[in-house]
Amino acid sequence: MEKGAVEEFVASDTPVTMEVSALVEYLSPEDLAKKSDLILIGSVKEILPARWNTPDGEQPEDAFEGSGLNDVIYRDVVISVDQYLKNPLSSNEVIVRTLGGTVGNLTLAVEDEPSFEPGDDVLLYLVEDAYPATKDLEPEHFRVTGSFQGKYTLTGDGKAVKSGEAVELEELLRIINAEN
C-alpha cells in the first residue's frame, strides 16, 4: 500500500448503522386532524420484518452510495382498527409504514419515525404515503402524519400519550370532530 493511501474495508458480518435525522415542522392537534387522510383508534397487531425497498426486499449492491435515500429499509405495522374517526375504510386492518429497521447487519435508524410495540392501543393520524422510495410498494399502506407527532399511545385512564406528554383522549376527539 502506498504511503498515505487508506484502505477501505468493512467485513460483511460487521454491524453497520446509518442514522438519519431532519427537522420536523410542528403540527398542532388541529393541524394533524386537517392534514390527515385517515384517523383511527386501534391496536398494534403485528410488526412485520424490516425489508429493503427493492423488488426482492434484499439490500441493493450500491445501497447508500451517493443515492441519497433512494435505497431505504422500512417496516410495516399492522393495526387492528377499533374505530375510524376520519374517512373510514371497509377494512378492519390498516398497514402503517415506517422508515428504518435492520436487515442483515445493516440498520437504518430514522430519528423522528414513530415507534410501535405489539399490543399497544393507539390513536393514529395517517396520510397516504407520498415518499418516492416507498409509496408504490404493496401492500396498500399509510404513513403517520407529521412523523412521531401523529401517533398517540392510549392508556387505560383516558389519556393519550405522545413523546412523554399526556393529553385527555376526549380533548383529541373533540378537536378531530371539530376539524371534520
- pLDDT of 38-71, one tens digit each? 999 999 999 999 999 988 888 887 765 654 568 8
At 9 the pLDDT is: 42
Contact 109/100 with Cβ under 8 angstroms?
Answer: yes
At 68 the pLDDT is: 56
Q: Exposure of 130 by Cβ count < 10 A (0-12 exposed, 13-18 middle, 19+ buried)?
A: exposed
Question: Model's pTM, two decimal places?
Answer: 0.88
Q: Which of 112, 84, 94, 87 is nearest to 45 (CA)?
A: 94
Amino acid at 12: S
Q: Give the residue, 154 or 68, on which the prediction is more confident.
A: 154
Q: Exposure of 161 by Cβ count < 10 A (0-12 exposed, 13-18 middle, 19+ buried)?
A: middle
Contact 140/103 with Cβ under 8 angstroms?
Answer: no
Mean pLDDT of the chain: 89
Looking at the chain, the whole-number percentage of residues with pLDDT higher than 90 is 71
Contact 148/113 with Cβ under 8 angstroms?
Answer: yes
Q: Which domains does the chain have, with CATH numbers?
A: 16-151 (2.40.50)
- What is the band of 1 on the pLDDT scale with cuts at 50, 70, 90? very low
